[in-house]
Structure 1
Amino acid sequence: MSTTTSTGRRWSWSPLTVRLMLAQTAVLAVGLIIVVVTAVLIGPNMFYHELVQAGHADAATGLVHLQDAFRSVSLTALVIGGLPALYIAGLLTFYLYRTIGRSLASFSTAAGEVAAGNYEVRVTSAKLGPEFDSLASSFNEMAARLDAVDTTRRQMLADLAHEMRTPLASLKGHLEGIEDGVVELDGHTTGILNAQITRLERLARDIRQLTAAEEGMTRMQLTPQDPQHLADQAVAAIEPDAAGKGVSITSLSTGMDVTPIPLDPERMGQVLSNLLENALRHTPPGGTITLHTDHAPEAVTYTVTDSGEGISSESLPHVFERFYRANTGREAHRGGSGLGLAISKTLIEAQGGTLEATSAGPGRGASFRIHLPRHRPNG
C-alpha cells in the first residue's frame, strides 16, 4: 500500500508502520471498550449498591427505573466523545509512526549505501528525541571514519606505487644490464641491488606500521616509565652513527625531579629514534643534535633540535605527511622511506600527546617537540 504526498513523492507503508499502527489502534479500542463497559454497565450498579449500603434503599429503589436512561445517555456521550478521540489518536499515531518509519527507512538506505562503498552518505536527525539524534550522530561518525580509512587506503596505495617505482626501476635496469653484459655483477653492483632491496623492505615495514597506527590498530602498552631513561637510550643507540658522520649529539634534562609517566616504551623509543635519525640525515658533519627532556608538573616535553639544513616555511606544514620530502632531489640517496615522521606523529597522538615541528628557515636547523601530559584519559 502506498500514498502520494503533496510534494509528489510516493511514500509506501512499511510493514513496521502497519504493525505499529494496528497495535496502537488495538490498544486504543480496548481502552475505549473498557471505559464504555465501566461507565454503562458497572457504574450504575455500583452506585445502586452504595445507596443501599448507606441506608437509602428507598431512594435506590426509585433510581432503578433511571438506570436504563442513564446507560443510554452515557453510551451516547461516550460514542460522541470517544470516536473523535479515537480518530484523533489514530491520526497522531499515524503521523508518529510514519515519521519513525521514514527515519528507519533513511537509515536502511544509508546503511545500504555504506555497504556498497559510498562512505559519503549522511543521515539527518528525525527530531524524535535524543535517542534518534544519538543514533544519527553515531551513524554519521561511523561513515566519516570509514570514509577517512578508505581515503587513507587509496592514497596510501597511490603513494606506495609512486615510491616503489624508483627502486624497482633501478633493480630492473641493473638486472637487464647484467643480462646484456653491459653491467658487471661485481661488488659495486651487488651493493646497489642490496641497497634497493633494503629500501623496499623498509618501505613495506613502514607502510604496515603507519597503516596500523592510523587505523587505530596499534596496541599501546602504557606503563609508568622514566622519560629520561628512554631519552638516554635513544641517544646512546644513535651515537655511533653520529660519531661516524662527525656530528655531536647530546642529551639534556631540565625541570623537576624525574618521575614516571605512562608511556609505551617500545613505541616511544621508536619515535625518539625516528626523530634522531631524521635529524642526523639532515645535519652535515660538524653539526650538533640535542635531545632536551623537560620535566614539568603537568607534562613531559621532548625536543630534538639540530643545526642542519632547516625547513622552509612552505614545507613546514607538510613535514608529517606521508612520503613528503622537502627536497626530493637530495633525499633520494638517503635511504629514508618518507614515513618516519608520519609514523612518529601518529604514535605520539595514540599515547595522548602531540608532535610539532618548527624551523627558522633553510640552513638554520629544525626542532621537533613532543608534548606528553602526565594525566591523560588513556593513561
Structure 2
Amino acid sequence: MSATVSERTHRWSWSPLTVRLMLAQTAVLAIGLIIVVITAVLVGPRMFHHELVETGHADEALGLVHLEDAFRSVSLTALTIGGLPALYLAGMLTFYLYRTIGRSLASFSAAAGEVAAGNYDVRVTSTGLGPEFDSLASSFNDMAAKLDAVDTTRRQMLADLAHEMRTPLASLKGHLEGIEDGVVQWDERTTSILYAQITRLERLARDIRQLTAAEEGMTHLQLTPQDPSRLAAQAVAAVQQDAAAQDISVTSISTGMEVTPVLVDRERMGQVLGNLLENALRHTPPGGAVTVHTDYAPEAVTVTVTDTGEGISEEHLPHVFERFYRANTGREAHRGGSGLGLAISKSLVEAQGGSLEATSEGPGRGTSFRIRLPHHTPTD
C-alpha cells in the first residue's frame, strides 16, 4: 500500500529557510513602519507649516508651533497604536505562511529521499497553497508511480529472463558435460542441438533489446505514407513457403471504398506483421488457414490477422501481450518463440500512433489480432 509523506511527517520544527524568510519579511515590515513614522513625525509638520506660508498665513504659522508639536504627537501615537498591532499580525501571518511552505518543502524533501532510497510507493498530498503546489504534488506522484511501474517491470523482466535462459543453458551444460564424460557423442545431431540452443539465446537477447527500445521510445521511426494492404501482402509472401511446408493456407484480402495511405514506418510495420503471422503459424495445425484482412474506413485503417488455430481462453486473453507470457507453458517452450514477439509488436504499433488488440472466441476457435492505424500523425 502506498503511504503519504504527510502521514509520516513528525512535529514541525524551525528550518533555516523558514527563519531566513521570516527575518527578511519582518525586516521589510519594520523598515516600512520606520519610514512611515519618520515621514509623519519629521516631514508632516514641516509640510503643514509650509502650506500655511504658501497660503498667506505666515504670521499664523509662527504662532502655531505648538500645533506642530501636537500634530507630531498625535501622528506618532496613532502610528504606534495602529502600527505595532499591524506589525504583529503581519508577523503572525508571515509565520503561518512560511510554516505551511516549510512543511510542504519538508514533505517534498522527505518524499524525494524515499524515492532515492528505492521506496516508490511514497506519495505527497496537496498542501492547499494553490494550483502551482498542487500541480507539483501531482507531477511528483506521477513520477513516483511511473518509477514504481518501471521498477516492477524491471524486476519481473529479470526474473522472466532468468527463467527463459535456464532451459537453453541447462541443455548446453548437459550436452557439454556429456561430451566430456564420453556419454554423448560429438556428432551432427549434438552439434545441431547446441547450435539450436545458442540460436535461442541470441534470439532472446535480440528480442529483449528490441522490446526495451520500443517501450522506452528509443526506436528510430521513419514515418512515411504507406499502403497497409501492400505491406500485408508483402508479409504474407514472406511466410508463404513456411506455411506451405506446414500445410497452412495464408491469404491477404482488402476491403473498403478508398485506399488511403497512413503514416507508418515500413520496416517496423513489416516486423509487426511478420511477428503476428509467425505467431499464427505456430498456433495453427496443418490444414488450417491464416487470413490478413485490411479494411479502409474513414477514421482509420485496420489490419487483422486471423487464424483457425488453437484459440485463447478468456482468462489468458488479457495477458497475451505480456513479456514471456505463455498460455500453455509446457508446449510453448518447444515452439521456437522467445515469448516477446507480441509484446514487441504492441509496443511498435503504439509507437506509430496505432493500437493492437487480441480477440478469441475460446480454445479451438482461432484468434484474431487487430491493428488499428488512425489517419493522423502519431504524437511523440
TM-score (norm. length: structure 1): 0.93
**Aligned equivalent of 1:353:** 354
**Aligned equivalent of 2:6:** none
Q: How far off its partner does 1:329 sit?
A: 2.2
Q: How far off its partner does 1:42 sit?
A: 1.7
> What is the alpha-carbon distance in structure 1 between the residues aligned to residue 86 and residue 80 of structure 2?
10
> What is the alpha-carbon distance in structure 2 between the residues aligned to residue 329 and residue 100 of structure 1?
59
Query: Is the deviation greater in 156-165 or in 324-333?
Result: 324-333
- Checking the alignment, whether the CA contact within 8 Å between 2:311 and 2:364 is kept in structure 1 is yes
User: In the TM superposition, what whole-angstrom CA distance separates every residue of 1:41-76 from its partner, at most 9, and x where no partner exists?
Assistant: 222322332333233444444433201111011101
> What is the alpha-carbon distance in structure 2 between the residues aligned to residue 12 and residue 221 of structure 1?
56
Distance 1:10 1:363, change over 3 A: closer
> What is the alpha-carbon distance in structure 2 between the residues aligned to residue 283 and residue 256 of structure 1?
31
Pair 1:91-2:100 in alignment: no
**Aligned equivalent of 1:142:** 143
**Aligned equivalent of 2:178:** 177
Report 1:284-363 matches (<5 A): 284-363=285-364
Paired residue type of 2:137: A
**Aligned equivalent of 1:267:** 268
Equivalent position SS for 1:11: coil
**Aligned equivalent of 1:151:** 152
**Aligned equivalent of 2:24:** 23
> What is the alpha-carbon distance in structure 1 between the residues aligned to residue 337 and residue 92 of structure 2?
69
**Aligned equivalent of 2:370:** 369
Paired residue type of 2:356: L
Distance 1:257 1:59, change over 3 A: farther
Equivalent position SS for 1:12: coil
User: In the TM superposition, what whole-angstrom CA distance separates every residue of 1:149-203 from its partner, at most 9, and x where no partner exists?
Assistant: 1111110010011111111111122222222222212111111111111111111
Percent pairwise identity? 83
Q: How far off its partner does 1:358 sit?
A: 0.8
Q: Structure 2: give runs of 5+ residues left out of the alignment.
A: 1-8
> What is the alpha-carbon distance in structure 2 between the residues aligned to residue 245 and residue 292 of structure 1?
21
Equivalent position SS for 1:357: strand
> What is the alpha-carbon distance in structure 1 between the residues aligned to residue 280 and residue 146 of structure 2?
33
**Aligned equivalent of 2:162:** 161
**Aligned equivalent of 1:102:** 103
- Checking the alignment, whether the CA contact within 8 Å between 1:256 and 1:297 is kept in structure 2 is no
User: In the TM superposition, what whole-angstrom CA distance separates every residue of 1:226-260 from its partner, at most 9, and x where no partner exists?
Assistant: 22222222122212211222211111111132222
Q: How far off its partner does 1:377 sit?
A: 5.2
Q: How far off its partner does 1:140 sit?
A: 1.2
**Aligned equivalent of 1:189:** 190
**Aligned equivalent of 1:34:** 35
> What is the alpha-carbon distance in structure 1 between the residues aligned to residue 256 and residue 47 of structure 2?
88
> What is the alpha-carbon distance in structure 1 between the residues aligned to residue 360 and residue 10 of structure 2?
59
Equivalent position SS for 2:97: helix
Paired residue type of 2:308: S
> What is the alpha-carbon distance in structure 2 between the residues aligned to residue 358 and residue 160 of structure 1?
27
Distance 1:197 1:9, change over 3 A: closer
> What is the alpha-carbon distance in structure 2 between the residues aligned to residue 40 and residue 270 of structure 1?
86
Paired residue type of 1:104: L
> What is the alpha-carbon distance in structure 2 between the residues aligned to residue 17 and residue 221 of structure 1?
53
> What is the alpha-carbon distance in structure 2 between the residues aligned to residue 105 and residue 299 of structure 1?
50
Q: Structure 1: give runs of 5+ residues left out of the alignment.
A: 1-7
Paired residue type of 1:89: A
**Aligned equivalent of 1:5:** none
Q: How many residues align?
A: 372
Report 1:197-276 matches (<5 A): 197-276=198-277
Paired residue type of 1:193: L
CA RMSD of aligned residues (A): 1.8
**Aligned equivalent of 2:282:** 281
Paired residue type of 1:176: E
> What is the alpha-carbon distance in structure 2 between the residues aligned to residue 221 and residue 84 of structure 1?
69
Equivalent position SS for 1:301: strand
- Checking the alignment, whether the CA contact within 8 Å between 1:356 and 1:370 is kept in structure 2 is yes
> What is the alpha-carbon distance in structure 1 between the residues aligned to residue 222 and residue 145 of structure 2?
28
Distance 1:314 1:124, change over 3 A: same
Query: Is the deviation greater in 114-123 or in 24-33?
Result: 114-123
